[in-house]
Amino acid sequence: MSGNMQSDSQERGGISRRDMLRMAAGTGAVGAAALALPSCAIFNKGTEKAVTRGRINQSIVHWCFAEYWDLEKTCLIARQLGCRSIELVGPENFATLNKYGLTCAIAPNGMPDPPFVKGFNNPKHHDLVIAKTREMIDACAEYNVPSVIAFTGFRQDIPDDVGLKNCVNGFKEIIGHAERKKVNICLEILNSRVAVEMKGHPGYQGDHIDYCMDIVKKVGSPRMKILFDIYHVQIMDGDIISRIRQYKDYIGHYHTAGNPGRCEIDDKQEINYRAIMEEIVRIGYKGYVGQEFIPTRDPLEGLREAVILCDV
C-alpha cells in the first residue's frame, strides 16, 4: 500500500496529454474520441486489450505508477488495458475517473502520509483516524466507491492483544456509519519483515493475516473486510490459496506484487499468480484485484503482462 497516494509527479516519456487531445480533435467530443484511440497511437504497446475474459475485475494502484504517468494518462492506460478502476486516489479525483468510465475500487483513509503509521490500534489516534475515515466513507458513498482502506497502525510498544482490542473498539465506532452508507472498510495486512521503504513496514502491528482476521471477526459486521495483499501475506504467512479459501467470506479486496522485491508479477518471482487468480474466480469473488507492484522496467510493459496474467 501507498507511498504518496495523490502524487503530483510530472509525466515522463511518451506523449503529453495535450498531444492526446490534439490527436482526438475532429472526431467528435474530445473525451470520447480520446478513449476510442487505438492504443498503438497513444502508447505503442499493442492494439489489443489485455483483458479478454474479464472474470477478474482489475484495478491499477496509482501510487506505483505516479512517477511515470499523471492521473489522466493512467486513465487512458486503464481503458486501453481493460482495467475497470484506478485506486487509492482521493475524492478530488473521483470525477476524473468517472469521466473515463472508471471507478476507484478502494479509497485511501485520508490520513497524512505515511497513512499506515497512526491507526486504530492506538486510542490517542482514534479521534483523527475515525474522523478521516468517516469523511472518506461519505465521499465514497457519493461516487459509488465500494471500499475505504484501513490500517492497524504501528505497535509503538502496544502489546498485540491490547492493539487488537483497541482496533476492535475503534472500528466499532465507525462501522455503523459504513453500514448506513453501504461502504466497506478493508483492513490491510502489511509485512514487517522487509526493511526496505515501501517493500515492508517494520513495526506495523497487523502483520499476520490471522491477527487481522481476528479483528475483522470481532467487529462483526458485513461491512468490515480484509484487504488480502498477496505479496505481504506471502512474506509473513505463505499458504496463499489455503488462506484465501479459509477467509473467502471476509475478503473485500486483493493486492498483487512479486516476491521478493515487490516487483512485477513475472516468472522472476516466486508467487504463482495464475493459480491464485483461478482460485479467486472459483470461490466466486466479485470485487477488485489491484495491481500494486513497483516497476523495475518499462512500467506499461510490466503492467500489461500482469493484467494478462491475471485475466484467467
| Residues 6+ positions from 192 with CB-CB distance below 8 Å | 200, 201, 202, 203, 204, 207, 236
* Residue showing cell 487488537: 164
pLDDT at 46: 55
Contact 205, 168 (CB under 8 A): no
How far apart are the C-alpha atoms of 230 and 238, rounded to whole Å?
A: 9
CB–CB of 59/86 below 8 Å?
Answer: yes
Comparing 104 with 35, the larger pLDDT belongs to 104
Residue % of the chain over a pLDDT of 90: 84
Mean pLDDT of 68-78: 98
pTM of the model: 0.87
β-pairing, 184-188 vs 147-150, is parallel
Mean pLDDT calculated for residue range 41-56: 75
Whether pLDDT at 23 is above 70 = no
Q: Are 153 and 122 in contact (CB under 8 A)?
A: yes
Q: How does residue 45 score in pLDDT terms, banded at 50, 70 and 90?
A: low
One-letter amino acid of 208: H
Q: For residues 111 and 133, what is the distance between their CA atoms, to the nearest angstrom?
A: 8
Q: Residue 32: what pLDDT? A: 36
Instruction: Give the whole-angstrom CA distance, residue 69 versus residue 208.
Output: 33
- pLDDT for position 47: 53
Give the DSSP H or E segment for 187.
strand 184-188
Residues 212-265 pLDDT 10s: 999 999 999 999 999 999 999 999 999 999 999 999 999 999 999 999 999 999
Query: What pLDDT does residue 174 have?
Result: 99
**Average pLDDT value for residue range 285-292:** 99
Is the pLDDT at 41 greater than 80? The verdict is: no
Sheet holding 288-291, edge to edge: 85-87, 57-61, 288-291, 251-256, 224-229, 184-188, 147-150
The tens digit of pLDDT for each residue in 124-163 reads 999 999 999 999 999 999 999 999 999 999 999 999 999 9
Secondary structure element (H or E) that encloses residue 183, with its range: none
Q: 84-107 pLDDT, tens per residue?
A: 999 999 999 999 999 999 999 999
Nearest to 89 by CA among 116, 110, 114: 110
**Residue 70 CB neighbours (<10 A):** 18
In order of start, what are the domains of the chain with their CATH numbers? 17-310 (3.20.20.150)
**Residue-level pLDDT at 48:** 76
**What's the Cα-to-Cα distance from 217 to each of 211, 220, 221, 225, rounded to whole Å?**
10, 5, 8, 9
Confidence of residue 9 (pLDDT cuts 50, 70, 90): very low
Confidence of residue 170 (pLDDT cuts 50, 70, 90): very high
For 1-29, what is the mean pLDDT? Answer: 36
Q: What pLDDT was estimated at residue 11?
A: 35
